[in-house]
Amino acid sequence: MKNIRLLTILLTSLFLWYSCDKVEPPYVENGNGGELNSDTVRKVLVEDFTGHTCVNCPQAHKIIEDLQQHYGKQLVAVAIHAGFFAKPKSAPYDYDFRTTEGTALYNLFQVQATPIGMVNRVKQSDGGYLVNKGALASEVSKQLDSLPQKPDLYIHLTPSFNSSDSTLSLAAEITFLEALPSAKYNLCIMVTESDIVKAQKNNDPTIGSTPDIFDYHHKHVLRGMMTPTLGEEILDGTPGNMQVISKSYSNFKFGADWVPKNCRVVAFVYYADGPKKYQIIQAQEVEVATP
């Protein structure tokens, strides 16, 4: 009986060690409100696999919007419509948001369900690259708050849109700012469009009407890529100090219903091999220049 009492006391003491954290309101953190708008800062790419008949996807879109408000230009987002819930169905869900490149990425990263995302395509502890919507914020924070603000490389983009034939040309200049290891470096160029007003399934009444939001403003939708899906190799080896690599692309044809002034060019450089394969080093985003 004495032993039991002693044990109980020991266990109770252990009990007290296990603190519980009751959080008092306000529950929302104050961000930098997008103050860091200088272009030579670390920028992270968030890719959001989504679909217009995916009822939980608007919650993921909201999280990304909140993160963009928090981090400003440091967060570059792309919505990749692919998989079952992106398939066109009967009206008003008959629009096809999908792209060949988006479907290829969906298959490459073994997406099973949406919404699901990637943050700089960093490999996760489970061996995959995918991040639940609930983990997007903390993963973005790991990339932006834990690493130096100065990026390892800088991407300068100069787009030029020809309205007569709806084609886009682009000059990209990559400057290596920090010492990086010997590896293969690939450059990807995506074109996105925001404010595409089409229907979206939704089950969260705090975001909009359920089960459908008929005039949903789809944001940063992947429309296509100016490079192959896995990009173009820009360097195989050790980058030199302040080494500059220039690339140019031309005659990328816009779709008939795309609105150029709502379109952006998203570029990123990533490791194409080695232990950090697929991991994005820096992202960049500019509006499509329209005359």
Partner 1 sequence: MRLRISALLLLFLGFGLKIKAQNNYGSVHGSFQFDGQYYNEDTLIGALRPDSKIGANGFLNVIYTNKKFEAGLRYELFMPPLLGFDPRYEGQGIPYRYVKYNGEHFELTAGNFYEQFGSGMILRTYQEWNLGFDNSIDGIRIKAKFPGLVLTGLVGKQRSFWGKGEGVVRGVDAELWLNDAFKSLANMNTRIMLGGNFVSRYQADLDPLYKLPANVAAWSGRIGIFHGNFNFNAEGAYKINDPNSTNNMIYKTGNGLVLEAGYSRRGLGITLQAKRVDNMDFRSDRTASGFNLPINYIPAMTPQHAYTLPAYYPYSTQQNGEMGVQANVIYKFKKKSFLGGKYGTTIDMSYAVSQAIYKEKPNDSTEIGEAGTLGYKSDFFKIGDEKFFHDFSVKISKKINKKWKIYLTYVNIFYNMEVNQGHKEPNVYAQSAVVDLWWKFKPYNALHFDFEGLFVKDNEDKGDWAFGMIEYKYKSFFAAIIDQYNYGNRDPLHRIHYFSASTGYTWNSTRLAVTYGKQNSGILCVGGVCREVPATNGFSFTLSSSF
Is 112 exposed, middle or buried (CB count within 10 Å of its CB: 0-12, 13-18, 19+)? exposed
Is 248 exposed, middle or buried (CB count within 10 Å of its CB: 0-12, 13-18, 19+)? exposed
Question: Residue 211 interacts with partner 1 (CB under 8 A)?
Answer: yes
Question: Residue 127 interacts with partner 1 (CB under 8 A)?
Answer: yes
Considering only residues 5, 21, 91, 242, which one is a binding residue for partner 1 as defined by CB under 8 A?
21
Question: Residue 42 interacts with partner 1 (CB under 8 A)?
Answer: no
Is 69 or 250 the residue whose CB approaches partner 1 more closely? Answer: 69
Question: Residue 247 interacts with partner 1 (CB under 8 A)?
Answer: no
In the numeric block, the tokens 């991991």 are attached to 279
Q: Which amino acid is at 230?
A: L
Question: Residue 238 interacts with partner 1 (CB under 8 A)?
Answer: no
Question: Residue 87 interacts with partner 1 (CB under 8 A)?
Answer: no
Considering only residues 125, 165, 241, 256, which one is a binding residue for partner 1 as defined by CB under 8 A?
125
Measured between alpha carbons, how far is 82 from 103 in angstroms, rounded to an integer? 5
Measured between alpha carbons, how far is 14 from 29 in angstroms, rounded to an integer? 32
Question: Residue 126 interacts with partner 1 (CB under 8 A)?
Answer: yes
Measured between alpha carbons, how far is 23 from 20 in angstroms, rounded to an integer? 10
Cβ atoms within 10 Å, residue 160: 14
Q: Alpha-carbon dihedral of residues 211, 217, 221, 223, nearest 10 degrees?
A: 110
Considering only residues 37, 40, 149, 203, which one is a binding residue for partner 1 as defined by CB under 8 A?
203
Question: Residue 98 interacts with partner 1 (CB under 8 A)?
Answer: no
Is 87 or 184 the residue whose CB approaches partner 1 more closely? Answer: 87
Is 91 or 256 the residue whose CB approaches partner 1 more closely? Answer: 91
Q: Is residue 246 classed as helix, strand or coil in its secondary structure?
A: strand
Considering only residues 2, 91, 165, 205, which one is a binding residue for partner 1 as defined by CB under 8 A?
205
CB 272 within 8 A of CB 186: yes
Considering only residues 66, 152, 232, 287, which one is a binding residue for partner 1 as defined by CB under 8 A?
66
Question: Which chain residues interact with partner 1 by CB under 8 A?
Answer: 3-4, 7-8, 11, 14-15, 18-23, 25-29, 31, 55-56, 59, 62-63, 66-67, 70-71, 110, 112-113, 125-128, 131-135, 137-138, 140-142, 145, 201, 203-206, 211
